[in-house]
Structure 1
Amino acid sequence: MQEKVERLERTLLATNRSLKKFKKKSKDDLQKHREEMQEVMKKLLSNEKEKKDPILLVTILPSILQTSHISVPGIENICKISLASPDKLWVSDGEEELLQVDFKGHLRQRSVIQYSISHTITGNGNLLFTCGENVKKFKSDGTITTLITSTENVECIHSSRINGDILVGIYCTIPHTETSIGKVIRYDKKGKKLLDIEQDNNGQQLFQVPYDITENKNGDIWTSDKCMAVVVDKSGDHRFNYTGLPSQSSFRPQRICTDVLGYVLVCDNFSSSIHLLSKEGRLLSILLPKQYNMRPPFALCVDDKHNLYLGEYESNIITVFKYLEVTEQ
């Protein structure tokens, strides 16, 4: 019995020594690991300090530079232009032709759609277009499905580059009057209604005839209306209106778009010019000087390289301009 007790005591003693060694080793390993991690973090922080975002120098060209033109086959009017990819455009004539062309004017796809006056490209490359009271989807495989059905004619649409929501402008004329009432509706990408935008905080009607609609990078929604561009934030709260130059006797905004820097471009059919605005609505430049001798601009879009694609009234020509120069410093 005594031997068993002594053997057990020796075993316990040996175990305690092993545990002490293990604990010391584990402690040393843990400390070493902490020191290694601290070194890694120091290097990461040091690299982040050394890495600086490039400073972009943005120059608005004093005179926009015409770079090329695209002849769209088979149509006589260009009503709406959307950038389908870096080298393709969707173009509609506002009557029945919906065409996809490349930058050489070669026809890639064609669909006959009655009275499709507005269209937009979704984040995954599908085309959404208006068709009377409906918004339809033209998939890349050529199939067409109805995404949204409205109670009024859909005048304009825009697919958000921020979250894929769909902005829809509609209007109706009050019976026995010449007064129109419009509104903007926000849907999710599946066509579920999320928000009606119709009045400001004082109960005043925001829109008469929403002709075109776009969304800026800060979430603001810009809508060209009868004689102004109406700007609301992403929640639908009214921010301000842009009414053109104070010296202008009239302002008739038509197509409207924004670029990757947050600038806003508005077609003014009254003066046959393009107004380039800041996101706060400050006029930066009047594009399209008279020396180009173009018909009133009717459709426009921009790409991420600051090229402006401009369609003319009663013409099948899209003229391409460079309006900004951006360099890294």
Structure 2
Amino acid sequence: MDPFRRAQIILLCDLCKTAHLQSHCERCDINLCQTCVGKHLSDSSIRHKVVPYKYRKSLNYSTCPDHTDELCKHYCEKCDIPVCSTCVSSSKHEGHNMSDILEKISAKTESLQKDLDELETRIYPRYEEMASDVQTEEAELETNYGKLTTIADQHGELLHREITAIVNQRKSDIQEMKIKHLSTLNKNTEEITQKMAELKQIMSDLKSILKSNDVSLTATYKSYKSKNSEFRTLPPKVRVTLPSLSAQKINKDQLNEMFGSLSPLSINTEHGDTMKSAEAVSSPPVKPLLDEPRLTATIDTGYDRLFSVSCLSEDQVWTRGDNKTMKLLNLQSKLLTSIQTKSGDKPRDIAVTRDGDLVYTDYDDKTINLIKNKQIQTVITLQGWGPLYVCCTAANDLLVTMDSDDGEQSKVVHYSGSTEKQSIQFDDQGRPLYSSGGNIKYLSENKNLDICVADNTARAVVVVNQSGKLRFRYNGHPSNTEQSFYPVGITTDSQSHILTADINTQSIHILDQDGQFLRYIHCHLELPVGLCVDIRDNLFVAEYHTAKVKTIQYL
């Protein structure tokens, strides 16, 4: 024998001791062959965990502190410590409940896994959302405070104009009084000057008479009549009192009040919302339905035909119409961004992720694509199936309706990234949940994690729970006996209402989470198709023919 050749170690099944092992039960810590796996799993009293041998986890039992030659393979529930077989039979643990330490570890592992799943899918995304909200608020801070400053400047300019007008009016009044005063004084001066001229003439005449020695002037003496008594009464003297400007003392408080007050900066640190566990999802505040829903805005998209709308924010929506271009518009119909599909084909549907990125399905190209920073990434390419409509879940996964290439099958597929997590196609009796053929199957995830599909061909809203089990079908208002219900777009709100567009009656049906009809929304809609709601439960409706998006408040 070659002394350098190592002997091969053959690992055998711990049960039959003859066949090569292939699997390992982590729960029981034994190795199994293919034949013995079935026998081992037949013991349903234990929750076995069988994995391929190469993926097994090596278990390191702790050594008993009291019996150093034994391993702790049991667990004392009362003392809450691992124990060995000798400890179990000792008087120290007499009457205590014992469990298998692997079972205890399995339960702990399951609990830890649940914690991890909740942290990854529910709690951490909420923190990310809060951080994003704060960053958005910071980004808008300069703009919002700039608006306040502009309002103050505009109000100040208005007050300046009013004050300037008042000052000019007062100056005009003063000038008018000055002219009237001067005219009065001039008139008085003229009267006095005239009397003075008469006096000068009389005085000149008297001097001439007194200086003359001509006796013939005697007649002049006789004709002279004294006017001194007349002139002793002086002409009236006009006295004009100067006007005064009784300016009121400026009261700063009143001036501040007149200018308008600035509300104080309110900084309140709210106690963080306590998220309920995944088993008890938190119920949102109750928002009652309005008696009369009202139209609040209309957006012109510029398409010839419009199919879908998806909210990016309260005042920005993505739209897709009858060409290869997807448009981001604000409530004033201003085009903010436009993106063309990679293939040049029309997108079948669009959705906005929780990160604010756009997802679109390309039916002809059989792809599902993500647009991040205006760059298109193909995340999923299908074989034998064509992707139809898409929505984003609370966990930031994707739900996609799709038809088989032969048109004989339809299903909903749940993706996490590019990985398929779940396929929903049949009910408990193996019957198809969704109609084959017609490819209008908008969908939405409800707040209770139900998956809601508007199956137009089946003339029904089909709702399954997150496990894919059928909950109910809604076939229109109970009074509908002619099967005239043609659902198209579908969405859900914070109250777990299901809203679906009925293209036949040109209205929106509002259902509760159990499929009970609540009421209609009309608002003069014209062929409503795509639907979405924003974070404040404002409803956005895409109208097919008018290519307009109408915003409706209904809560």
Answering whether residue 397 of structure 2 is matched by residue 165 of structure 1, we say yes
Structure in which a larger fraction of residues adopt strand: 1
Aligned twin of 2:536: 305
Q: Using the alignment, how far apart are the partners of 1:123 and 1:147 within structure 2?
A: 17
Q: Percent identity?
A: 27
CA-to-partner distance for each residue in 1:42-85, whole Å, 9 max, x for gaps? xxxxx9xxxxx99945321122111121122x312220000012
**Runs of 4 or more off by more than 6 Å in structure 1?**
none
Alpha-carbon distance in structure 2 between the residues aligned to 1:124 and 1:111: 18
Residues 1:148 and 2:376 aligned together: no
Larger Rg: 2
Residue 216 of structure 1: aligned partner: 446
- In structure 2, the residue matched to 1:192 is 419
Equivalent residue number for residue 10 of structure 1? none
After superposition, the Cα gap between the structure-2 partners of 1:170 and 1:54, relative to the gap in structure 1 and judged at 3 Å, is: closer
Aligned to 1:126: 357
- Alignment map for 1:131-280 (pairs within 5 Å): 131-132=362-363, 133-139=366-372, 141-151=373-383, 152-161=385-394, 163-172=395-404, 174=406, 180-188=408-416, 190-208=417-435, 209=439, 211-225=441-455, 226=457, 227-248=459-480, 249=482, 250-280=484-514
Shift of 1:181: 2.1
Partners of 1:276 and 1:205 lie apart in 2 by 26
| Cα pair distance change 1:55/1:165, threshold 3 Å | closer
Candidates 39, 44, 61, aligned match of 2:290: 61
Per the alignment, in what secondary structure is the counterpart of residue 194 of structure 1? strand
SS, match of residue 123 in structure 1: coil
Are 1:93 and 2:321 counterparts?
Answer: yes
| Greater share of residues in helix | 2
The 1-side partners of 2:348 and 2:434 are apart by 19
- 1:315 partnered with 2:546: yes
Matches within 5 A, 1:29-40: none
CA distance in 2, matches of 1:236, 1:55: 24
Aligned length: 262
Q: Contact conserved, 2:306 with 2:543, CA < 8 A, in 1?
A: yes
Return closer, same or farther for 1:199/1:109 CA change in 2, 3 Å cut-off: same
- The answer to which structure, 1 or 2, has the higher relative contact order (CA under 8 A, 6+ apart) is 1
5+ long unaligned stretches in structure 2: 1-270, 272-281
Contact 2:304 2:322 (8 Å CA) reproduced: no
Quote how far apart the aligned CAs of 1:237 are: 1.1
Whole-Å separation in 1 of the counterparts to 2:284 and 2:357: 34
CA 118–54 in structure 1, closer or farther in 2 if over 3 Å, else same = closer
Gaps of at least 5 residues in structure 1 are 1-46, 48-52, 325-329
Q: CA deviation at 1:86?
A: 2.5
CA distance, structure 2, for counterparts of residue 270 and residue 211 of structure 1: 16
Structure 1: distance between partners of 2:515 and 2:286: 21
Structure 1 residues 62 and 153: alpha-carbon distance in aligned structure 2, compared to 1, 3 A threshold: same
- TM-score norm. by structure 1 comes to 0.75
Please give the alpha-carbon distance, in whole angstroms, between the structure 2 residues aligned to 1:259 and 1:283. Answer: 15
Q: Name the SS of the counterpart of 2:289 in structure 1.
A: strand
Give the alignment's TM-score, normalised by structure 2. Answer: 0.45
- AA at the equivalent of 2:506: S
